[in-house]
Structure 1
Amino acid sequence: MWQSVFDKMVRRLISEGSLEVIFPDGVRHTYGPGGGLSASVHLHSPEVVKALCLRPELALGEGYMDGAITIAGDDIDSLVRMILRNGYANRTPLWARTVDAARFRLGRILQRNDPERSRSNVAHHYDISNDLYRLFLDRDMQYSCAYFTDPEMSLEAAQVAKKAHIAAKLRIEPGMRVLDIGCGWGGMAITLARDWGARVVGVTLSQNQLALARERVAEAGLEDRIDLRLLDYRLLDEPFDRIVSVGMLEHVGLPQFDTYFAKVADLLTPDGVALIHTIGRTGVPMAQSEWINRYIFPGGYVPSLSELAPSIERSGLWNCDLEVLRLHYALTLRHWLARFDENLDTVRKMYDDRFIRMWRYYLTVCYLAFEEQAQAVFQFQLSHKRDAVPLTRDYLYPTPQAQARQAAE
């Protein structure tokens, strides 16, 4: 029965490219007109065929991770890209769309992310092993979208460019108090303190990140300028001249957006500037990937602009600038996956094959979300005053003439 249901479902889905499916009984079917993308998958059990019919997005990730689905050549990219290009979201069975719709409607419950749940969610992903992250991140361990002023630049250079771009938007001056919400392994805090003379308070809920970040701060000799705390941002109650948050808003959850932006407004001084860097959707709101939520980022949610704007408006803050970074995260994720693959021998000494398949699937489907779906990175520049920053973006990209004038002044 389920093989017949699956056959009808895939025939309806694949209208572009070619997909070969090898069923558990050895029967092979080819779907699609051919041309363009092609992929071949082997389904090893009737149970995985049933699961793909009932919860296709979740079952594909689980099946691959568990070895119940084998992709020819381990080519996750071609398979998932083909599914996305064939309009998966609109061509899945009604019951699968109904489940996604229910999950979306229940978002305010599933993502309530109170302090206790937030700590648990963070530990699930970030407290697994600092050594794993060292294998595929840049030297500064920036686990967020880099900024590629040239697509051919190295990951190291692109992460340096990201921090410089953010610092320029923050308009930091020596001695300013800066809050880093979700400070990770301390790279941004160290950069702002060392290179811009800031006094930084960083907060995180990850014990692993905090321990390593404090080591790095001590090694840099910046303990008098950087104060890192294991603390929920909602518990802060002190003024800051600048606030930066990179890659943290995705963990806040839909019910907490009002709280998040209200807290930024409350902590920011009257002349202050905040820079919020987050993954976001350029399309209509939709349910988060069930597989991603279950195995990678529990409680996470990628918001559409229409979901963030009302909370920013209610905070009373001016949105002085909004920049949309397109494809920068796809390039970043491709670098991470390449580095992960280059270090597979080391990873295998730390984790089993199931974990490796899970991690490779995660990195691949994430870069495909930026290349094939309505996903990008937003940078919000917020302040209490409309004139807290220059009126144009010229200050971000100074010409040699402007630099000479500034030097003369």
Structure 2
Amino acid sequence: MLLDLFMRRLIRIGTLTLRYPDGTLRRYGGGEGPEAGMALRTAAAVRRLALNPGLAAGELYMDGTLEPERCGLYELLDLLVVNLWQGGSHPAERLVTAARTLRRRIDQFNPAPRAKRNVAHHYDLDGRLFSLFLDRDQQYSCAYYQTGQETLEEAQAAKKRHIAAKLKLDRPGLEVLEIGCGWGGMALTLARDWGARVTGITLSEEQLQTARARAAAEGLADRVRFELMDYRAWRRPVDRVLSVAMFEAVGLAHYRRFFTVVRDALRPDGVALVHAIGRAGGPGATNPWLAKYIFPGGYSPALSEVVPAVEKAGLWITDIEILRLHYALTLREWRHRFAASRDAIEALYDERFCRMFEFYLASCEITFRRTDHMNWQLQLTRERETLPLTRDWMLKAERASIGA
């Protein structure tokens, strides 16, 4: 049996107990490490998992033909990812990954109409869904944990302060362009707490409506506005440019255009901050299940793929920060909150949708704990003299914002 052969080669760390459709139990591995079990309900599930595990595992779980046994989904995925990343090998997965890597530029070709469709696939879901597992400000990006013991609300507030400090909002009235504004929380914070005037742009109609309603409700509509706009359509210079958790949707072929837009949007003494998911191990390919069901057209780049585009755009990289485990901690909180609200989310959608989101949150958390994924922040300027000689000013600004 092909799957049996692959599992014998794959599981070198920990132990996997696999129940086949005929009731046969087989144990793989047996060494030190995590233990987990799973059952495959049909012969078709066995074949699909053997031939394309990166896509099939999530689909089979969504359909109920792959089930964890004597463990949760998180524990099962953790065991599999540990072995895929550190231990054995799966020849079929290596071949599929190689093919995906070769066609990355095709998969990530994101002209404006396609980019809008990709965004709508995920971000135009019912807004009540996100309110059930995100923090109160609906920050849908990596939080910032200084100790790892903070609540999600505390860590997301710290993330906003950390980013605002890097933008050097050192006088009131500075104009900020936020590329990918989400539900408006970051823009509203910059206006309310830092005295900025902000324009947030998005391709999500759902996010646009929510962000505008929030600005009106907080009495900030005169200082914060939100527009349905592709970043490539921006034409006006501003003092600051910010992009948080949007760059993953840009696409490899468009990196130089993105940073050229950032450069052209900045006034000569302007500052930009780009925050995104990346990978420390060099270029790769997006998991096919994630690309199909969660983030079509998305990709988390290595910095080696990003920096050349920054250089060609003529921008200075004035600071780089790598956030290693922060997103794992964030996703853990989202996963727990999703589980606590599962009944309400199932009422919005259905059981299959809940399983899809469970697989997404668990697999992404494990990716940040076990593989090379991380978050990076690039601070950028047009001129070398724009910022002070050392980076001490950022920490001082951050501390001053909380009265420390």
Q: What letter corresponds to residue 282 of structure 2 in structure 1?
A: V
1:171 is matched with which residue: 159, 168, 171?
A: 168
SS at match of 1:287: coil
Matches of 2:339 and 2:387 in 1, distance apart?
43
Report the number of matched residues: 401
Matches of 1:390 and 1:399 in 2, distance apart?
13
Contact kept in structure 1, 2:50 and 2:92, CA below 8 Å: no
1:288 is matched with which residue: 263, 281, 286?
A: 286
- Please state if 1:194 is matched with 2:197: no
1:272 is matched with which residue: 270, 273, 277?
A: 270
Matches of 2:96 and 2:343 in 1, distance apart?
39
SS at match of 2:396: coil
2:42 is matched with which residue?
45
Matches of 2:90 and 2:159 in 1, distance apart?
41
1:1-400 pair list within 5 angstroms: 4-73=1-70, 75-88=72-85, 91-172=88-169, 173-398=171-396
Contact kept in structure 2, 1:51 and 1:59, CA below 8 Å: yes
Structure 1 gaps of 5+ residues are none
Matches of 2:249 and 2:17 in 1, distance apart?
37
Deviation at 1:91, TM superposition (A): 4.5
Deviation at 1:33, TM superposition (A): 1.8
Matches of 1:169 and 1:13 in 2, distance apart?
44
Deviates more, 1:76-85 or 1:154-163: 76-85
Deviation at 1:284, TM superposition (A): 1.4
Per-residue CA distance 1:42-85 (angstroms, 9 max, x = gap)? 00011111111110111111111110101124512222221222
Per-residue CA distance 1:165-188 (angstroms, 9 max, x = gap)? 111000112111100000010001
Contact kept in structure 2, 1:13 and 1:88, CA below 8 Å: no
Identity of aligned residues (%): 48
Q: What letter corresponds to residue 114 of structure 2 in structure 1?
A: R
Matches of 2:86 and 2:246 in 1, distance apart?
27
Deviation at 1:90, TM superposition (A): 7.9
Deviation at 1:162, TM superposition (A): 0.6
Matches of 1:244 and 1:81 in 2, distance apart?
34
Matches of 2:368 and 2:92 in 1, distance apart?
27
Q: What letter corresponds to residue 73 of structure 2 in structure 1?
A: I
Matches of 2:332 and 2:53 in 1, distance apart?
25
Matches of 1:388 and 1:185 in 2, distance apart?
31
Matches of 1:31 and 1:203 in 2, distance apart?
50
SS at match of 2:149: coil
SS at match of 1:86: helix
Deviation at 1:339, TM superposition (A): 0.8
Deviation at 1:374, TM superposition (A): 0.4
Q: What letter corresponds to residue 347 of structure 2 in structure 1?
A: K
Contact kept in structure 2, 1:163 and 1:188, CA below 8 Å: yes
SS at match of 1:136: coil
Matches of 1:398 and 1:225 in 2, distance apart?
26
Matches of 1:332 and 1:80 in 2, distance apart?
18
Matches of 1:326 and 1:93 in 2, distance apart?
27
Matches of 2:70 and 2:348 in 1, distance apart?
24
Per-residue CA distance 1:360-400 (angstroms, 9 max, x = gap)? 11001111111000011100000011232222221222399
Matches of 1:350 and 1:394 in 2, distance apart?
48
Matches of 1:379 and 1:145 in 2, distance apart?
11
Matches of 1:383 and 1:362 in 2, distance apart?
35
Deviation at 1:220, TM superposition (A): 0.8
Matches of 1:10 and 1:198 in 2, distance apart?
56
The structure-2 alpha-carbon separation of the partners of 1:33 and 1:309, relative to structure 1 and needing over 3 Å to count, comes to: same
What RMSD in Å do the two structures reach over aligned CA positions? 1.8
Matches of 1:157 and 1:88 in 2, distance apart?
32
Q: What letter corresponds to residue 278 of structure 1 in structure 2?
A: A
Q: What letter corresponds to residue 44 of structure 1 in structure 2?
A: R
SS at match of 2:30: strand
